[in-house]
Amino acid sequence: MEEKSIWSSLLQKVFHIEPKKLRNDKIRTLEQQARESLVQPYFENDPSIVEWFTGFVPSRDGAKSYLRELFPAASWTRRYNLQWMIGDAIAGLTVGLVVVPQAMAYALLARLSPGYGLYTSFTGVALYWMFGTSKDIVIGATAVGSLLVGGVIANVEAEKPGIYTPQEIAHTLTFLSGLILLFLGLFRLGWLIEFIPYVPISAFVTSASITIMSTQIPVALGIEGINTREAPYLVLSNTLKSLPHAKVDAAIGITSILLLFAIRDACARMEIRQPRKKKMWAMLSSLRLTFTILLYTFISWLVHRTATNNNTKFRIVGHIERGFKHASIPNLDPELLGLVASELPAIVIILIVEHIAIAKSFGRIFGYTVVPSQEILASGAANILSPFVGGYVCTGSFGASAVLSKAGSRTPLGGLFSAMILVLALYALTSIFFFIPMAALAGLIIHATCNLITPPRALYKYWQLSPFEFLIWVVGVTVALFTSLEASIYATIALSFMLLLIRLARTPGKLSGRVRVSRIDGDIDNDRTNQESSASAIEASTHAVRMRNVYVPMEGKNAYNAKIKAEPPYPGVFVYRFNENFNYVNQARHMDQISSYIFAHTRRTLADDGVPLEDRLWNDAPPPPKDESAAELPLLRALILDFSAVNILDITSMQGLIDLRNTLDRYGSPAVVEWHFAGVHNRWTRRALAFAGFGYPPKLNSEGTSDWSPAYTVATSLAGATADDERQRELMDIALQAGDEERRKRRNSHSLRGEGRRLSKDTTRPKAIIHEDKSTGLMEPLFGIDRPFFHIDIEEAVDEAVKSAKRKDEELNEASHGEQGVEDSLDRSQ
């Protein structure tokens, strides 16, 4: 016994852990009080660390669900039909015609030969349908990805000239990027992308669209010598300066753009005029891309069928190498891995953002859900395979995806038809693609991409919803125009995080006051024209609805009517609501706000706290001399914290609550300040608060407390109830609703809503009620009786705090009257 006592004392002194005996005494006291109030004891089962770890162990059903999610194609391929296949085939073939020259052009940006772009796009479109969750996205070579790869190749060649070929650098970089993406996808870490809000993605989509169009405008105009790897504003300005050097390609590029818009607008008007043939006109509209490419390819063939490569009237695609000539295994030399590793973070972020931005954009347009983790997995699988067939970094392509969507794709399988076109292009159709005009392809890409730019009406909506986020969008697009897409995405994400941190750290809570409200039924007889009768109808409607309390902010500019004044629920009782989660970032502001308001609106319990001036800290001012105005302020009785918006507590925020409690205890000493919590539903939060000493009266001991009486929130449980029990419950509900106080007392002598009246031990209670509670459990506490200061809502917390405050004020008044009576007796005797 002595050894146990020593061990208990050691735990209490070193770790400040409450002795087990004292905890058991408190539990017995609370249980006894519950039984006296005819409430069946229920103690909360706190979560354990073991439970936390076991929560990460997947169940059998979870494992099956995970495997099904890895291959979403298995859920819809069984329903695949002919109509879907026709739509996918048309869209896939159309995209294939676009992807071939586009991929070859982008490969040049990556400092590789045109064939590498075809290899890259093949792996993306061939694999995506098995893993992807979007029907409109095309994974392949992109302008942004190609520019990034070209930059890495240039950096490595500058640092280690002549050691590694551009192909080796691109393949190694791609393989490592694929491994990272695959890891994120397999472990379902796609939620990380949710840290990037919609506005940066919208700005990135618009910026990328402008960047892509800026690279295609010189091609559409036939202007040579423009460095399209520069910032978009330089590309556009240099293009304008070189307009006098435009060639005959401009006729093809401009007319192709005009033709595409003309066909689109004409089909859209015909859909309105002929709604019965809407599907036909929509199909013709989606075929406009294929029609335009075939038309200008035929024109090019007529012009150049007898010409050579060096004697063309305008730029054409030209010769394409047959087959997968550069398939190889990635070079995993440690030195090369080290050289490209520093470039991986930017590459991976851009790949993810670009891909998810496209997928979510089309998901919002067409009303389907995109799973970010699965999209990242699909991108990772494509990038791992890409270097083995000769390709490099691939991700969602803005231009190709826009073409696929407009061409009427029905399922993700549309990309497989594009893969067929790429295989044919590599092996059998090189002679046909030879004549495709580059200006026509540029016009097609410009037409497909311009619709991804955020329209003015959306920008106006941004401004109305959140002006600061609109400014972030403007900054992102501006940075992209004058620097690069990488700088744009970094800038917008950084500004968004800054805005989030400001909101977390500086968004204040609200001191809430009580307002009595009711609802007036607006369904009043319209035939009543007499104003007096209408007033009586309104009055009758008002009285028909029960008055209730609501708690609204007391200070600052609020949304409710300024003529309505919210008042504290009771002098010395304060209600504080956290508008957002309570954590280490904002705890200091919340604690300062609570303490400063309380100190300004209450007075100390003792005018002189008895601390000598020499023992005070330099910043601890002594109590002010007796002030009549301060004497009118109430004493601090209770603090109610609304935790409805709080999910989990960290150590810093918990320490803030403890420090504030200590401060208020000193301020209110020798009286005890009660802490009540409303809306605490998270089990870990309840456990942490209870461990820190919150949730029950601070003076609770084995003898009980003289200044506190419990109140319980009980609920009806029908477990094991008979028909008579159910009938009795209905009668009890009727009695409560009717407000029959006497009948309620006969049915249950304790207050069902915890109005706070403690029963004396000699009170006679109906035995039938006790029997019902023990046998059928009709009235069970909703939460554990071991934490009576954790309340289900604000109304209940205020009721309990006000009840206790009133009792303390009554005791204080009785004591002061007693002292005054003694003084009067002494005066008379003298």
Question: How do the domains of the chain map onto residue ranges?
Answer: 70-502, 510-691
Give tens-digit pLDDT for 122-166. Answer: 999 999 999 999 999 999 998 778 878 887 898 898 888 888 999
Mean pLDDT of the region 311-319: 80
- Between 647 and 476, where is the model more confident? 476
Tokens representing 453 are 């730019």
- Between 601 and 632, where is the model more confident? 601
Mean pLDDT highest for which of 25-29, 178-182, 363-367?
A: 178-182
From residue 519, alpha-carbon distances to 523, 534, 546, 547 in Å are: 12, 16, 8, 8
Find the range with the poorest average confidence among 3-7, 302-306, 443-447, 663-667.
3-7
What is the C-alpha to C-alpha distance for residues 156 and 145, in angstroms, rounded to an integer? 17
Element (DSSP H or E) covering residue 641: strand 638-642
Amino acid (1-letter code) at residue 358:
I
- Between 13 and 95, where is the model more confident? 95
DSSP state of 245: G
Q: Which residues, including other chains, have CB under 8 Å from residue 682's CB and lie 6 or more apart?
A: 646, 647, 648
- Sequential DSSP letters for 314-340: S-B------S-TT-------HHHHHHH
Mean pLDDT of the region 661-666: 90
Mean pLDDT of the region 434-458: 84
DSSP state of 378: H
Mean pLDDT of the region 810-823: 67
Confidence of residue 182 (pLDDT cuts 50, 70, 90): very high
Confidence of residue 781 (pLDDT cuts 50, 70, 90): confident
β-pairing, 638-642 vs 573-577, is: parallel
- Between 433 and 5, where is the model more confident? 433
Q: Taking 90 as the threshold, does the pLDDT of residue 120 lie above it? A: yes
What is the C-alpha to C-alpha distance for residues 800 and 101, in angstroms, rounded to an integer? 75
Confidence of residue 241 (pLDDT cuts 50, 70, 90): very high
Q: Which residues, including other chains, have CB under 8 Å from residue 616's CB and lie 6 or more apart?
A: 622
Mean pLDDT of the region 183-201: 86
The pLDDT score that the predictor gives to residue 256 is 92
Q: What are phi and psi of 262, to 5 degrees?
A: -65, -45
Find where tokens 């395979």 sit.
385
The pLDDT score that the predictor gives to residue 1 is 45
From residue 394, alpha-carbon distances to 207, 386, 560, 643 in Å are: 19, 8, 53, 47
Residues forming a β-bridge with 640: 575, 676
Find the range with the poorest average confidence among 117-131, 235-249, 401-415.
401-415
Do 315 and 296 touch, CB atoms closer than 8 A? Answer: no
What is the C-alpha to C-alpha distance for residues 97 and 295, in angstroms, rounded to an integer? 13
For the CA atoms of 156, 159, 164, 166, the dihedral, rounded to the nearest 10 degrees, stands at 30
Confidence of residue 308 (pLDDT cuts 50, 70, 90): low
What is the C-alpha to C-alpha distance for residues 462 and 470, in angstroms, rounded to an integer? 5
The pLDDT score that the predictor gives to residue 610 is 67
What is the C-alpha to C-alpha distance for residues 655 and 422, in angstroms, rounded to an integer? 63
Tokens representing 699 are 């003076």
Q: Taking 50 as the threshold, does the pLDDT of residue 295 lie above it? A: yes
Mean pLDDT highest for which of 210-224, 421-435, 517-531?
A: 210-224
Residues forming a β-bridge with 549: 516
The pLDDT score that the predictor gives to residue 760 is 35
Across the chain, what does the average pLDDT equal? 80
Mean pLDDT of the region 504-521: 85
From residue 558, alpha-carbon distances to 258, 510, 512, 549, 564 in Å are: 53, 11, 11, 18, 11
What is the C-alpha to C-alpha distance for residues 14 and 631, in angstroms, rounded to an integer? 42
Do 439 and 256 touch, CB atoms closer than 8 A? Answer: yes
Mean pLDDT of the region 21-37: 71
Closest CA to 150 of 10, 347, 327: 347
Confidence of residue 20 (pLDDT cuts 50, 70, 90): low
What is the C-alpha to C-alpha distance for residues 179 and 525, in angstroms, rounded to an integer? 71
The pLDDT score that the predictor gives to residue 394 is 93
What is the C-alpha to C-alpha distance for residues 776 and 755, in angstroms, rounded to an integer? 24
Confidence of residue 591 (pLDDT cuts 50, 70, 90): very high
Find where tokens 């006729």 sit.
251
Residue 626: HSE in the Cβ half-sphere, 13 Å Cα cutoff: 0
DSSP state of 53: H
Do 713 and 754 touch, CB atoms closer than 8 A? Answer: yes
Q: Which residues, including other chains, have CB under 8 Å from residue 154's CB and lie 6 or more apart?
A: 111
Do 165 and 139 touch, CB atoms closer than 8 A? Answer: no
Residues forming a β-bridge with 677: 641, 790
Q: What are phi and psi of 192, to 5 degrees?
A: -60, -30
Tokens representing 35 are 């039984």
Q: Say what percent of the chain tops pLDDT 70.
A: 80
Do 99 and 121 touch, CB atoms closer than 8 A? Answer: yes
3-state secondary structure 193-206: HHHCCHHHHHHHHH
Q: Taking 60 as the threshold, does the pLDDT of residue 531 lie above it? A: no
What is the C-alpha to C-alpha distance for residues 137 and 403, in angstroms, rounded to an integer? 9
Amino acid (1-letter code) at residue 492:
T
Q: Taking 90 as the threshold, does the pLDDT of residue 294 lie above it? A: no
Give tens-digit pLDDT for 369-402. Answer: 899 999 999 999 999 999 999 999 999 987 678 7
Confidence of residue 821 (pLDDT cuts 50, 70, 90): low
Do 5 and 20 touch, CB atoms closer than 8 A? Answer: no
For the CA atoms of 764, 766, 769, 775, the dihedral, rounded to the nearest 10 degrees, stands at 90
Mean pLDDT of the region 415-440: 83
Confidence of residue 11 (pLDDT cuts 50, 70, 90): very low
Q: Is the dihedral of CA 214, 215, 216, 220 positive or negative?
A: positive
Q: How many angstroms from the chain centroid is the CA of residue 90? A: 38
Do 170 and 323 touch, CB atoms closer than 8 A? Answer: no
β-pairing, 674-678 vs 573-577, is: unpaired
What is the C-alpha to C-alpha distance for residues 548 and 542, in angstroms, rounded to an integer? 12
Burial class of residue 598, CB neighbours in 10 A (0-12, 13-18, 19+): buried
Question: What 3-state class would DSSP assign to 347?
Answer: helix
Closest CA to 446 of 189, 630, 654, 261: 261
Cis peptide before 710 (omega within 30 of 0): no
The pLDDT score that the predictor gives to residue 67 is 86
Do 258 and 447 touch, CB atoms closer than 8 A? Answer: no
Question: Could you give the angle at which helices 288-304 and 249-273 cross, rounded to 10 degrees?
Answer: 150
Classify domain 510-691 by CATH number: 3.30.750.24
Question: What 3-state class would DSSP assign to 134?
Answer: coil
Mean pLDDT of the region 615-632: 66
Give tens-digit pLDDT for 725-776. Answer: 555 555 555 544 444 444 344 444 433 333 333 333 333 333 323 333 343 4
Burial 770-794 (b: 16+ CB within 10 A, else e): eebbeebbbbbbebbbbbbbbbbeb
Question: What 3-state class would DSSP assign to 227?
Answer: coil
Tokens representing 607 are 């005018």
- Between 548 and 631, where is the model more confident? 548
**Alpha-helix runs per DSSP H in 451-508:** 456-465, 467-482, 485-506
Find the range with the poorest average confidence among 231-235, 428-432, 493-497.
428-432
Q: Taking 90 as the threshold, does the pLDDT of residue 526 lie above it? A: no
Tokens representing 668 are 């209110």
